[in-house]
Structure formats: structure tokens, C-alpha cells
């Protein structure tokens, strides 16, 4: 009987841990798909290796104004 009680206690602790992990997950995590992650990793690698220059805040604002 003690074994069953120990297993039930462990199960309850795991359920609590799962709820905590789900609460800590970023809100956008469900919307990110594998292809987006691959594209983001490639872009970061290109920025880090100097193949692509990231936009400045001013450049980004200008592009957003042109687009919107």
C-alpha cells in the first residue's frame, strides 16, 4: 500500500510541476512553428557572421511608415 501512496504522491507532484511549466511558457509559444524557428535561426546566424546588417531603429521606423 505504501508503494501506491508514494506513486500517487509522485504523480501529484508531477502534475503540479507540469502546471508550473505551462504557466511559465511564453504566450507566443503556441504560435511558433518549426519553419519560423529555422528561419529565425538562419537570420540570427547571418547577422552574427556579418552576412546581413540588422536594421537600425530609424531604418525600421522608415520602412514601417512606408508600409503603413
pLDDT class for 21, splitting at 50, 70, 90?
A: confident
pTM equals 0.41
| DSSP string of the chain, one letter each residue | -HHHHHHHHHHHHHHHHHHHHHHHS-TTGGG--HHHHHHHHHHHHHHHHTSSPPPPHHHHHHHHHHH-
Q: What is the pLDDT of residues 25-65, one digit of tens each?
A: 777 766 778 888 889 899 889 988 989 888 889 998 998 89
pLDDT at residue 23, rounded to an integer = 83
Continuous segment of H or E residues that includes residue 40: helix 34-49
pLDDT class for 13, splitting at 50, 70, 90?
A: very high
Q: How many distinct structural domains can be found in the chain?
A: 1
Residue numbers of the domain that contains 11: 2-67
Amino acid at each position: 500500500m505504501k508503494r501506491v501512496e508514494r506513486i500517487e504522491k509522485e504523480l501529484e507532484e508531477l502534475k503540479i510541476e507540469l502546471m508550473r511549466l505551462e504557466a511559465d511558457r511564453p504566450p507566443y509559444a503556441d504560435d511558433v512553428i518549426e519553419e519560423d524557428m529555422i528561419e529565425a535561426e538562419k537570420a540570427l546566424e547571418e547577422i552574427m557572421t556579418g552576412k546581413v546588417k540588422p536594421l537600425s531603429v530609424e531604418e525600421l521606423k522608415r520602412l514601417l511608415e512606408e508600409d503603413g
